[in-house]
Amino acid sequence: MRRSQFATRTGVIAATVGSAVGLGNIWRFPYETGMHGGGAFIIIYIACVLLVGIPVIVSEFAIGRGTHKNAKGAFASLAPDSPLRFVPYMGIFASMLILSFYSVVAGWILEYLYQSVACIFDSASSQAYADRFTGFITDSYRPAIWAVIFLSINFLVLRRGIEKGIERISNILMPLLFVILIVLCINSLTLPGAKQGLSFLFKPDFSAVSPSMVIGAMGQAFFSLSLGLTCLLTYASYFSDSTRLVRSASITAALDTLVALMAGVLIFPAVFTYGMEPQAGPTLVFVTLPEIFAQMPGGHIWSVLFFILLFFASITSTISMSEISISFFIEEHKMSRNRATGLNTLICMVFSIVCALSFGSLGNFTVCGLTIFNLFNYLSSNILLPLGGMAIAIFAGWVVNRRFLNSQILLPGESPTVASRCLIFCIRFVAPVAIAVIFISGLL
């Protein structure tokens, strides 16, 4: 049977940017920036994207597009005896962990979308917003039900396959996401606290730079760009041979960073206008923002739009995480697409129910002092993604032969340029060394 491919060039970009743009940009980036003091974090983040992010994206793209196979098949066909053969399995494992806690947060978004549509938000005290959020996430079944609903929607898209499922939904949702984001940003920029919000976001205070901030920026870059799991490798296996990899990688990184910055522009002016705390952390979107929406003229509509935005961003990311194991089940274990998608969904549903309940009834169940949700989050983002990214860059830069990498980076007949040489240098030296240094300093 002919292997599926994305049908158009726009489809390639929409799907890849859809994978990258997600809760990482709209939920995690603003709170990480807020907690690390604003502008300086953003500069370090952008340096991580340029020096490590783009080289690792290109490595994943080259391995995927060069073989047109799932990650396990790709590694096996390029270097069957390499000790890095474990990377695809680690990717499958990490993708299931991320999918499990990610769909819990996506479930919270569905609940908040429902509450916004039903006009349940009203002007109450700040404490009431915090209590409502805590009450909801510690509930004994509601968060689990929403996570299961979210994974079922994810299943319905994925079983339709690459072109009719993933490409079509990305082509529709990504432009809509940009439109909603622009409308929300314009609204935020008209608020009285806009200037203060923007200067918090863009004026760097270098005294805030610390090792933990650099680790945070690097972890954020990996999570946000969907790196280290072989997720982009899997998508690239559906690219055609004429797709320009470096250009697609640069567009993906640029749009992903743009969306993260826009999410900051959307959130911080409102935070300063209504006298809230920019350092609120993970509850920024679920506690601070609803309170802001309730005070804003037309807040009901802004709130509905905002949670639709978050829903679109999350579903296009979860389909990409799921495709890692689905392509593995289909190609390595000869399963039908329906079966493979069903199996992935079932496994993740079980894990995500446990994660969802780890704020309430399963809260006492901890490993190394972490609840299951936090354990999955920590293990995947801080350990498995950077390790996977480092292994992928080493595989592309050192294990696979040099001609292969050049043939993927350049078009047929093109000779190496200064830019392509710099890129290969970053893949071979800068990315693995930077990841190793940051990773080790994080463990100390």
Q: Is 317 in the site for ligand PHE (CB under 6 A)?
A: yes
What tokens does 67 get? Answer: 């073989």
Q: Closest separation between CB of residue 316 and ligand PHE, Å?
A: 9
To the nearest whole angstrom, how small is the minimum distance from the Cβ of residue 417 to ligand PHE? Answer: 29
Min. distance of Cβ 203 from ligand PHE in angstroms?
Answer: 25
**Amino acid letter, 91:** G
Report residue 195 as tokens: 């200037």
| Choice from 13, 35, 54, 98 touching ligand PHE (CB under 6 A) | 98
> Rounded CA gap, 43 and 99, in Å?
29
Instruction: Name the phi and psi angles at 370, rounded to 5.
Output: -110, 140
Helix axis angle for 168-189 and 194-202, nearest 10°, is 120
User: Per-residue contact track with ligand PHE, 221 to 260, x per CB under 6 A?
Assistant: --xx-x--x-x-----------------------------
Closest to ligand PHE by CB, 231 vs 236, is: 231
**CB under 6 A: which stretch of 126-134, 170-178, 209-217, 219-227 binds ligand PHE?**
219-227
Q: Facing residues of 367 across strands?
A: 370
Q: Of 92 and 296, which has the nearer Cβ to ligand PHE?
A: 92
Nearer to ligand PHE, 321 or 349 (CB): 321
**How big is the CA angle at 178 (ends 155 and 200), to the nearest 5 degrees?**
115
Q: Taking the complex as a whole, how short is the minimal distance between the CB of residue 260 and ligand PHE, in angstroms?
A: 8
Residue 322 in contact with ligand PHE, rule: CB under 6 A: no
Minimum Å gap between C-beta 28 and ligand PHE is 7
Structure tokens at 197: 């919000």
Judged by CB under 6 A, does residue 263 bind ligand PHE?
no
Q: Which of helix, strand or coil describes residue 18?
A: helix
C-alpha 302/C-alpha 188 separation (Å) is 10
Residue 377 makes contact with ligand PHE by CB under 6 A: no
Residue 95's closest CA among 418, 347, 399?
347
Residue 27 beta carbon to ligand PHE: minimum distance, rounded to whole angstroms:
8
Site for ligand PHE in 8-47 (CB under 6 A): 19-20, 22-25
Distance CA 174, CA 252 (A): 12
- Considering the rule CB under 6 A, would residue 321 count as an interface residue with ligand PHE? yes
Please state, in angstroms and rounded to a whole number, the distance separating the CA atoms of residues 164 and 157.
Answer: 9
CB of 406 to ligand PHE, least distance (A): 27
**Residues 266, 269, 270, 271, CA torsion sign:** positive
According to DSSP, the residues that pair with 366 across neighbouring strands are 371
3-state secondary structure of 290: helix
Q: Which residue has the tokens 């041979």?
A: 241
Contact region with ligand PHE (CB under 6 A), list: 189-197, 282-290, 315-323, 330-338: 315-323
| Angle 265-271-276 from CA coordinates, rounded to 5° | 160
Question: What minimum distance in Å lies between the beta carbon of 265 and ligand PHE?
Answer: 17
CB nearer to ligand PHE: pick between 120 and 254: 254
User: Which one of 47-55, 118-126, 277-285, 313-321 is the stretch in contact with ligand PHE (CB under 6 A)?
Assistant: 313-321
The residue ranges that bind ligand PHE (CB under 6 A) are 19-20, 22-25, 98, 223-224, 226, 229, 231, 317, 320-321
